[in-house]
Amino acid sequence: MTFKATVLTLYPEMFPGPLGVSLAARAREEGKWSLDCMQIRDFAADKHRTVDDTPAGGGAGMVLRVDVLAACIDHATELHPDCPILAMTPRGKPLTQARVRELAAGPGVIILCGRFEGFDERIFQSRPIEEVSIGDIVLSGGEPAALMLLDACIRLLPGVMGAPSSGAEESFENGLLEYPHYTRPSEWGGRTIPEVLRSGDHAKIAAWRKSQSEIDTRLRRPDLWERHDGARVQSASGARHEKKDQGK
């Protein structure tokens, strides 16, 4: 099945962008996903092809017009009635790996990219749109956010990653950050690879990786750790002590 990505944007030339190289490019050539960019401006009704107007109530910037957005979205949903509609906006729900997995398992996505001050709010009242944020930052447009979301979905499509396990062991898949990695040379700048990773003892290696993953999550992302089951047992300050002890 082909994952259908439909992007509604004022800058279609920004696509496929980074998705035109490496894994994503190969996957697209193999028909694992498809890309269709729609120029929002094509749905403007006036001869100047106007897509924005000044904010009601005053203030800086311009706002994307609801009538133009609705015409564009309706066209996309007519073509892809089975695909969820996502709008990229810092006001949206923060994107998670769990949501990416759900989207990647579906037929595809219609992604609306904002510009200027964003969208006339009535578009969200009148169409079934999921508002998605890629983090507590403000970009100048939704296109880089859409590229991020698509990249995260595409790598999970069947057959895109070489080893299926490399997807399952990543950060966030089990609610934790991944353990740290090392590779040759085994000694560099006076620093060595942890002994256990050179032991060949798979059980010990697995135990070490699990413990590192827990310690790093507690230290770096107490918010994730709190949501994780193990949180009831150990605190972030406990993790700091463990990390210190390991450095001895």
| Least distance between ligand SAM and beta carbon 69 (Å) | 11
Stated as kind and residue range, the H or E segment containing 85 is strand 85-94
| Least distance between ligand SAM and beta carbon 17 (Å) | 15
Closest CB to ligand SAM among 135 and 164?
A: 135
| Least distance between ligand SAM and beta carbon 236 (Å) | 27
CB 40 within 8 A of CB 51: yes
C-alpha angle 149/32/97, rounded to 5°?
30
| Least distance between ligand SAM and beta carbon 61 (Å) | 7
Closest CB to ligand SAM among 53 and 178?
A: 53
Closest CB to ligand SAM among 71 and 139?
A: 139
Closest CB to ligand SAM among 60 and 233?
A: 60
Stated as kind and residue range, the H or E segment containing 112 is strand 108-113
Stated as kind and residue range, the H or E segment containing 53 is strand 52-53
CB 62 within 8 A of CB 53: yes
Closest CB to ligand SAM among 12 and 90?
A: 90
| Least distance between ligand SAM and beta carbon 135 (Å) | 5
Site of interaction with ligand SAM (CB under 6 A) = 88-91, 113-115, 117-118, 133-135, 137-142, 145
Closest CB to ligand SAM among 65 and 115?
A: 115
Residue 2 is classified by DSSP as: -
Indicate the angle between helix axes 202-220 and 236-247, nearest 10 degrees. 130
Strand partners, 113: 88
- Which of these, 38, 55, 146, lies nearest to 92 by C-alpha position? 146
| Least distance between ligand SAM and beta carbon 82 (Å) | 24
Q: Which residues of 52-69 are buried (b: 16+ CB within 10 A; e: fewer)?
A: beeeeeeeeeebbbbebb
